[in-house]
Structure 1
Amino acid sequence: MSENDTDVVVVGAGLAGLRCARALVDRGHDVVVLERDDAVGGRIRTDHVDGFALDRGFQLLNPAYRAVRRWVDVDALGLQPFAAGVAARNDDGLVRLGNPLAAPALLLPSVRAVLPRPREVLAAARWAAPLLRARPGRRLATSLTTASPRRDVSRREALDRAGVDGLLRATLDSFFAGVVLEDDGSTSQAYALLLTATFLAGTPALPEHGMQALPAQLAGRLGDRVRLGTAVDSVETVAGGAVVHAGGTTLRARQVVVAVAGQDAGALTGPDAEPTPRTKGVVTSWFAADEAPTDSHLLFVDGRSRPSGPLVNTAVVSNPAPSYAPAGQHLVQASALLGPDRPVPTEDDVRRHAGELLGADPRGWRLLHRHEVPHALPAQPAPLALRRPVRLRDHLVVCGDHRDTASIQGALVSGQRAALDVAAALAR
């Protein structure tokens, strides 16, 4: 036995890998986490530029996620919530829609927007009806998927079947485009409803010190078990365990957990890995402004019949999250989709469209940074595969949001499932 021998090697210090490592440490196992980058977090990272906090791709944390409530010290993150709604620039002007239970100030604007549209409201209610039909005592995800998975269709088809059109259809399509990073309605209806239920249950927010505070908190509980700047070259399963080759170092372990992004996992897990799901990309531009373009805490989307630019959403982030900007300055984010058939939008197009949606003159904004994230989220087509297996073969497990739902919830749950599988194998 060499000095490098350990019970478990976890490759990757994103949310899934960190949760897996923590669960195993809590069970008394020796764990080493190897991370190729200079910080933990995977796709959840925060850059600091001129006193501004810039997340790599606009992201929000919903405290209503079960996994977050269970495994994260939410209070310690100092969450700064957005308003529970959306501002949609439509053909007639700007409308504000939201959850009046979470944001009472949106009650009257929402009523004014939907009152002249009773047919649209009824159609939207038909679309969301499965949320009400979920069986009591069962988790919503299970009710929406395992009960009758063949009924799951694309979000576009479900909205069409329900007859949702007009203002509400345009607003829903625009909002979901920024959440699931697609504007063709190809995402599973079941997944769209799961997200809807989560938005109704909790208000998305930003941690005081940026989104990277979330993985940093998880890693802080692991201490020196996390080794940064350590790229793994290969993973080899052998009789009685596995061998991990990383930068000239060989580590032997009884179990290995590959907790890297889906598009990278196959290179380490070998030919028996399941096909990697397609991914969706996003580009986020961050602008500094001397004056706030609006005092709204809402996310702004383009709900017009013919959108005038590339953005799926924009927001003055420093309104709900003042810690993201230095005193006297304001931070604007503007996000657009990336993909093989999409040209990367120019700064001029992004700036113009963001100003148009916010109703402000963007010419004085200063570009701070532009994050291009080509593999931001795994696609979630219908029928929704709620949970993919984590065990690939003896001594080798894989986890990440590509094994569960494409979300913070999915990443944490996948890490926990991997840990339980590994713990059971170690006990045999």
Structure 2
Amino acid sequence: MPTYDFTRRARRPSDPDVVVVGAGLAGLAAARALTGHGVTVQVLETTDRIGGRMATRSVDGFRLDDGSHLLNTAFPELRRTLDLDRLDLRPLAPGVLVHSGGRRYRAGDPQLTAARQAALRAPLGSPLDKARLGSWLGRIATTPAGRLQARPETTAARALTGHGLAQRSIDGFLRPLLSALLGDPTLGTSSRVADLVLRSYARGRLCLPADGIAAVPAQLAATLPAGTVRTGVQVTSIGADGVETLTHGRIGAQAVVVATDARSAAELLPGLRLPAFHPVTTFFHAADRAPLNEAVLLLDADRPNGHPPLVSHSLVLSELHPSYAPAGQALVATTVLGRRSFDAGGPAGLEPAVRARLAELYGTSTADWQFLSVRHVPDALPAMPPPHNPRRPVRVLAGLYVAGDHRDTSTVQGALVSGRRAAQAVLGDLGLPAGSREAEAAA
């Protein structure tokens, strides 16, 4: 498609060069890349805050992170886009804690040698089986991402049985870990995406900012020129030469980037592919004492009657950083996956069952825990079944572009990369050097 002649567009002096619709990660990443090349940008956000699905709320002195976001230090775009030292990332304990068959055990620490993996008491098969699991994690950590993406593609669930690993290693570690990291309890996700996620897990550390997940979009926004982001502006229609808003009139531009969630993007761009979604429900409880004295991801590996468990994973956030809870209190965040509907009580009606399961997972009474809040996000994560294209086109036509985790992968890495790709497409059409080097592939 030929480059559009931008000089034909009539614009007011106050109009920006580019309008970005949506102040989530993808929109902020696109704005950062564009302003870094001297392009004037206005980011228009419908709500009264930035960050999209990445938000932090304060409830009675507790810091609650919405969604099921975990960062990974191995995400190349995270390192490229953010100042990780200033973000003050706090790592989770290496590996995970798994509950299965009435007992808890540690597994999956990539820092351990295969020999030390074999010596673990985790019920993941024989010592040889555990050594094979450790060796396999080591190999996937060093396999180039391009080679993983060239593998035959199937679902993650089917691919797990093709690695030569013991079934106990799969069911007791890999299956619950991937379900938690992908937000997909049935593991219908593309096996190539699952491999990239496991590669990042084996190469880096899961972590969260000390100030909550909202610190990520806040840092991106802080790098933009003053006045770039405008909240409370609802865009009603878009074109290649600007946008119409509900109460702020028309804003002209040389290019428009739609960086909303997938459903909103499909409403603004009829004909845009709308993916299926994985719902995520997060329960927050306060306790007088922490049920674990470390910030470790606790996975539920039990599969009642062959079905995914009620609780996917849980984490004592106050052990990650004390500012997550008031002094003398502990904050426990628990994620339930796959719940699309609830009884008359809504998501909160599921809390007694979640609390009862947490008592089993943590091996302690939860009767006196305080139920703080529940957050249900029905469209939390765009589904990535095979065949999955991790680089969907971001250029709709000259002057009109789309970005978001639905264009790449349903992760922080994917959202950031898609924003940069959209910015590069805009810069290319504007005739400006875009720096086309892609970040190392990662999910």
Same fold, judged at TM 0.5 (above): yes
The residue aligned with 2:159 is: 158
- Post-superposition offset of 1:399: 0.4
- Post-superposition offset of 1:152: 1.1
The residue aligned with 2:315 is: 315
Q: Is 1:50 matched up with 2:48?
A: no
- Post-superposition offset of 1:193: 1.3
Q: Is the 8 A contact 1:288 1:332 kept in 2?
A: yes
In 1: Cα distance, 2:97 partner to 2:124 partner: 17
In 2: Cα distance, 1:132 partner to 1:204 partner: 15
In 1: Cα distance, 2:277 partner to 2:186 partner: 14
Equivalenced residue count is: 413
Q: Which moved more, 1:29-38 or 1:288-297?
A: 288-297
Q: 1:191 aligns with which of 190, 193, 200?
A: 193
Call closer, same or farther: CA 1:314–1:219 in 2, change over 3 Å: same
- Post-superposition offset of 1:5: 2.0
Deviations 1:228-259 (A, max 9, x none): 1111111123xxx3343342411011100000
Q: Is 1:234 matched up with 2:244?
A: no
In 2: Cα distance, 1:107 partner to 1:53 partner: 37
Q: Is 1:225 matched up with 2:228?
A: yes
Q: Is 1:278 matched up with 2:282?
A: no
In 1: Cα distance, 2:328 partner to 2:252 partner: 53
Q: Is the 8 A contact 1:206 1:321 kept in 2?
A: no
Q: 1:203 aligns with which of 196, 205, 208?
A: 205
One-letter identity of the residue aligned with 1:260: T
One-letter identity of the residue aligned with 1:427: G
Q: Is the 8 A contact 2:118 2:128 kept in 1?
A: no
Call closer, same or farther: CA 1:247–1:328 in 2, change over 3 Å: same
One-letter identity of the residue aligned with 1:299: L
Q: Is 1:79 matched up with 2:77?
A: no
Q: 2:34 aligns with which of 20, 24, 39?
A: 24
In 1: Cα distance, 2:362 partner to 2:295 partner: 11
SS of equivalent to 1:412: helix
Q: Is the 8 A contact 2:73 2:204 kept in 1?
A: yes
Deviations 1:176-210 (A, max 9, x none): 22221222121111111111111122111111110
The residue aligned with 1:169 is: 171
The residue aligned with 2:298 is: 300
- Post-superposition offset of 1:171: 2.2
Q: 2:23 aligns with which of 6, 10, 13?
A: 13
The residue aligned with 2:265 is: 265
In 1: Cα distance, 2:74 partner to 2:308 partner: 34
The residue aligned with 1:404 is: 408
Q: Is 1:256 matched up with 2:256?
A: yes
Q: Is 1:380 matched up with 2:384?
A: yes
Structure 1: tracts of 5 or more residues without a match: none
- Post-superposition offset of 1:391: 0.4
Task: Using the aligned pairs only, state the percent identity.
Answer: 37
Q: Is the 8 A contact 1:187 1:380 kept in 2?
A: yes
Q: Is the 8 A contact 2:20 2:27 kept in 1?
A: yes
SS of equivalent to 2:120: helix
The residue aligned with 1:355 is: 359
SS of equivalent to 1:411: helix
Q: Is the 8 A contact 2:141 2:202 kept in 1?
A: no
- Post-superposition offset of 1:10: 0.2
Taking structure 1 as the reference length, what is the TM-score of the superposition?
0.90
In 1: Cα distance, 2:287 partner to 2:334 partner: 13
In 2: Cα distance, 1:108 partner to 1:118 partner: 8
Structure 2: tracts of 5 or more residues without a match: 1-10, 433-443
In 2: Cα distance, 1:286 partner to 1:327 partner: 17
Call closer, same or farther: CA 1:126–1:111 in 2, change over 3 Å: closer
Q: Which moved more, 1:401-410 or 1:183-192?
A: 183-192
Q: Is the 8 A contact 1:400 1:415 kept in 2?
A: yes
- Post-superposition offset of 1:289: 0.6
SS of equivalent to 1:33: strand
1:11-160 mapped onto 2 (5 Å cutoff): 11-91=21-101, 93-99=103-109, 101=111, 111-113=120-122, 117-118=126-127, 120-121=129-130, 124=133, 131=140, 134=143, 140=145, 142-145=146-149, 147-148=150-151, 151-160=152-161
Give the CA RMSD over aligned residues: 2.5
SS of equivalent to 1:282: strand
Deviations 1:367-408 (A, max 9, x none): 111100111111111233111000011210000111111111
The residue aligned with 2:350 is: 346
Call closer, same or farther: CA 1:178–1:115 in 2, change over 3 Å: closer
In 1: Cα distance, 2:358 partner to 2:124 partner: 28
